[in-house]
């Protein structure tokens, strides 16, 4: 097990796969598919039953190959549990300056969720490694491009609405990374145990990311 986040691994495949509400067995299978297909970063949301156990189990099995983080970290209580479980990076849906501060002091990468220009600037000024634009599908790539007019120094990760088909559009707008949940780890397919279909989706996302042009 590795407890260290790899920036090189993240930059090589800047997609964060979001696992929410799955069983331990399902999560481990999805982590395996991620590793096999070339995805490098997964987050297990803290509002998943047994999230801490899942983070630990994924670290034990895939900590040398994947960056394994905790998502939906809304407050310091959730942060404490995530870090105790060994999360290598933290993702939030909101701007919580105390959560960001603790991560910065502990040198834990944090992708803080924000939506408005004020929130985006606040998260970055507080020390966020990257700012997660959520929910990104509401305004689309044009919003990313507009925000980066005054905030061109802030790395943005749209989350919500990203697909293999539109990833280049997000990239062209200025996105540095991509958060992907249901379009990758489709709940219906997981519950049906259709791992071949999930594997095919993962390969599509990896291929799209590798084909991105500047």
Spatial separation of the C-alpha atoms in residues 145 and 143, rounded to whole Å: 5
The CA–CA distances, whole Å, from 90 to 13, 68, 159, 187, 207 equal 17, 9, 14, 23, 26
The catalytic position among 26, 35, 40, 43 is 43
Q: Is 132 a catalytic residue?
A: yes
pLDDT number for residue 3: 66
Q: Is 26 a catalytic residue?
A: no
Q: What is the DSSP letter of 136?
A: G
Residues of the domain holding 141: 7-210
Could you report the per-residue pLDDT of 172-208, keeping only the tens digit for each?
999 999 999 999 999 999 999 999 999 999 999 999 9
Could you report the per-residue pLDDT of 15-52, keeping only the tens digit for each?
999 999 999 999 999 999 999 999 999 999 999 999 99
Domain count, the chain: 1
CB 160 within 8 A of CB 149: no
What angle is formed at CA 20 by the lines to CA 117 and CA 68, rounded to 5 degrees?
80
pLDDT band at 1 (very low <50, low <70, confident <90, very high): very low
Q: Count CB atoms within 10 A of the CB of residue 203.
A: 16
Ranges assigned E (strand) in 155-203 = 156-158, 178-180
Answer yes or no: is 55 within a domain. yes
Predicted TM-score (pTM) of the model is 0.97
The catalytic position among 26, 35, 40, 132 is 132
CATH value at residue 35: 3.20.20.70
Could you report the per-residue pLDDT of 81-117, keeping only the tens digit for each?
999 999 999 999 999 999 999 999 999 999 999 999 9
Answer yes or no: is 160 within a domain. yes
């Amino acid at each position: 097990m590795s407890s260290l986040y790899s920036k090189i691994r993240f930059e090589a495949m800047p997609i964060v796969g979001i696992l929410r509400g799955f069983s331990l067995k399902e999560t481990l299978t999805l982590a395996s598919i991620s590793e096999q297909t070339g995805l490098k970063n997964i987050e297990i949301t803290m509002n998943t039953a047994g999230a801490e156990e899942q983070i630990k189990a994924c670290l034990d099995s895939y900590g040398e190959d994947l960056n394994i983080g905790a998502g939906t970290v809304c407050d310091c209580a959730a942060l404490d549990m995530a870090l105790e479980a060994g999360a290598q990076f933290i993702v939030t849906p909101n701007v919580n300056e105390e959560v960001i501060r603790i991560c910065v002091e502990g040198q834990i990468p944090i992708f803080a969720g924000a939506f408005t220009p004020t929130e985006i600037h606040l998260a970055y000024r507080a020390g966020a490694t990257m700012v997660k634009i959520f929910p990104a599908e509401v305004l689309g790539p044009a919003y990313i491009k507009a925000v980066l007019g005054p905030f061109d120094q802030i790395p943005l990760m749209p989350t919500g609405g990203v697909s293999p088909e539109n990833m280049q559009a997000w990239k062209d707008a200025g996105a540095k990374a991509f958060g992907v949940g249901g379009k990758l780890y489709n709940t219906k397919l997981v519950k049906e145990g259709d791992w071949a279909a999930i594997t095919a989706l993962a390969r599509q996302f990896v291929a799209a990311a590798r084909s991105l042009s500047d």
